[in-house]
Amino acid sequence: MPTVEEVSVWIALNVLDSQAWDDATKKDLAVVQASRNLSRWYPEIELTTDVVSFQAIWELQGLDPALKYQKQGVKAVTDSGERIDYVHRDKVAPDVRDLLGPPFDELEEAEDDEYVPQFGGRLI
């Protein structure tokens, strides 16, 4: 598992929008949580510094108060005529999904949905 120092260096050298990481007070906890989640979602993948870094930033961005409403199932908030609609926020960071594909639990669901029993017939 990458250390907080390794993740910090990697983010400083590779990530332009690193405000969530830079402002974080619990970076060590973000790395642990990202590693734990990634190990559960991608059990056969070795956790590299880049993957853990992307997920740690994603976890820290999820601390935004607006996103907490979304986790509680709030679909929209209206205040003084202004409305904010919430859309589904993926649990996996987009960059991680691009690198590793869908998580393990989504693969199982896709395999179950794709199975169609074949009865009789012959190939031509």
55 Cβ contact list (under 8 Å, min separation 6): 34, 35, 37, 38, 92, 93, 96
Is it the case that residue 68 has pLDDT exceeding 70? no
In a domain, 119, yes or no: no
One-letter amino acid of 25? T
In a domain, 120, yes or no: no
pLDDT at 82: 78
Which residues constitute the domain of residue 57?
Answer: 4-113
In a domain, 118, yes or no: no
pLDDT at 106: 79
In this structure, what are the phi and psi dihedrals at residue 59, rounded to the nearest 5 degrees? -65, -40
In a domain, 69, yes or no: yes
Q: Once rounded to an integer, what is the mean pLDDT over residues 64-73?
A: 59
In a domain, 20, yes or no: yes
In a domain, 107, yes or no: yes
In a domain, 58, yes or no: yes
Query: Poorest-confidence range of 45-49, 52-56, 102-106?
Result: 102-106
Q: Once rounded to an integer, what is the mean pLDDT over residues 34-41?
A: 94
pLDDT at 119: 56
In a domain, 14, yes or no: yes
pLDDT tens digit string along 2-32?
999 999 999 999 999 999 999 999 999 999 9
Q: Residues 41, 103: contact at Cβ < 8 Å?
A: yes
In this structure, what are the phi and psi dihedrals at residue 12, rounded to the nearest 5 degrees? -60, -35
Read off the pTM: 0.71
- Total domains present in the chain: 1
